[in-house]
Amino acid sequence: MREINASIPFDKALWRQDIAASKAHVAMLAACDIVSAEDAETIIDGLEQIAGEYEKDGVPEDWDLEDIHMTTESRLSELVGPAAGRLHTARSRNDQVATDFRLWVREAIDQADAGLEALQRALVAQADVHADSIMPGFTHLQTAQPVTLGHHLMAYYEMIRRDRSRFHDARARMNECPLGSAALAGTGFPIDREMTAQALSFDTPTRNSLDAVSDRDFAMDYLQAAAQCSLHLSRLAEEFVIWASQPFGFVRMPDSLSTGSSIMPQKKNPDAAELVRGHAGRIVGCATALMVTMKGLPLAYSKDMQDDKPPVFEAANLLGLSIAAMTGMVADSTFKTDRMRQAAELGYATATDLADWLVRQADIPFREAHHITGAAVKLAESRGVALDQLPLEDLKAIDERVDQRVYAALSVEASVAARASFGGTAPAQVRKQVAEAKAELDGE
């Protein structure tokens, strides 16, 4: 029972939040004349001494004390004597842990948001440099149409933008203070819950004591946002793994985020990117673990909820590592733009431009233009040449309505420039997207 019951090995991570919430609680008790000002001052001084000890030496693990709350209270009793017993007036470990955990998750959200902003800035910086750099755009990992590298990177900016909005939403929804809900029914002491909520930078106290001590929606909101974010990071990591492979050769990844082989000296393995992909699976698993833990629990607190913290702590650690790795990868990689442009030319990526030209200039229905273009691609493929290298007479043999003007539409530069619709890949549009992103990040 001692071993299964103890949570101090992991909930010691909450010590800063536990100290802060205890100081706010006892200050409120004094303000409401529930404990004396002298006892409150003594308790706060003791808590500050404990915080210094924890900061210096870490939190001791005495499994007989079960958790961070009893560990701190026991040490406080050693330091200040009987006055320590007044700290737990008008509260329970149920509302105590709910408050501590919210404070911890709120900080984790702020850390994730700061990391994601740094990643966005790295993406925008590279997109700005590569607004004109042409590469193949893919569907089904098959060459589809030319795009610019800047446009490709800005797609991830948009994904991360949504991730940040999910974290912001989760933070706003969770910012209510459970402290004062006590075990489940509130307390008979004349406490001031608004005071403790304000002291801990919550917007308001929670409105129902039963819900307050049994709610872990805030943790699941965080995990679901983290899981979605990890999927985006994993997709970006996969792009780098593919691009860094020799058949592609689109990017040289930084040495600081790569490793060598134990047997093959020529190898430069994208291990950091691969681990980001792996972390996504673990973070999704953490989200699933907490949801299953909470499924079917009756009100109010059940000991199952002690298992709420390990998946959140694990996910936050993995997410932080993943964000940092991808930020460094984006910022410090060298993109091989000549190779990217060459690849864009090899896959008949301008075939759609030929079809579009036939629609615009020859007034041919798109489905017919699609058929004509397919014949032109087949001919070019049989000769091993690009579309714009087919002689005009060969194109006219496929359809006599083709004329010399078509060649202006068949270069990869012409193709990307033509995609000037809002949100398109045209360099002018990319620069506009970059400018708007910079203004957004700078709060303009």
Closest among 349, 329, 328 to 340, alpha carbons compared: 349
- In one-letter notation, the amino acid at residue 190 is P
Distance between CA 259 and CA 252 in Å, rounded? 13
Of the candidates 19, 201, 196, the residue with the CA atom closest to the CA atom of residue 110: 201
Catalytic residue among 201, 245, 261, 302: 261
| Candidates 140, 256, 262, 382; catalytic one | 140
Does residue 60 sit in helix, strand or coil?
A: coil
Q: E strands along 142-270, which residues?
A: 142-148, 176-177, 204-205, 251-252
CB atoms within 10 A of CB 413: 14
Closest C-alpha to 294, from 216, 213, 195? 216
Pick from 95, 309, 294, 102: nearest CA to 213: 95
- State the Cα–Cα distance between residues 202 and 18, nearest whole angstrom: 15
261 catalytic? Reply is yes
Q: Give the whole-angstrom CA distance, residue 351 versus residue 348.
A: 6
Question: Beta strand 334-335 with 251-252: parallel, antiparallel or unpaired?
Answer: antiparallel
Residue bearing tokens 């996504």: 280
The answer to whether 279 is a known catalytic residue is: no
| Beta strand pairing call for 204-205 and 251-252 | unpaired
Residues that are catalytic: 140, 261
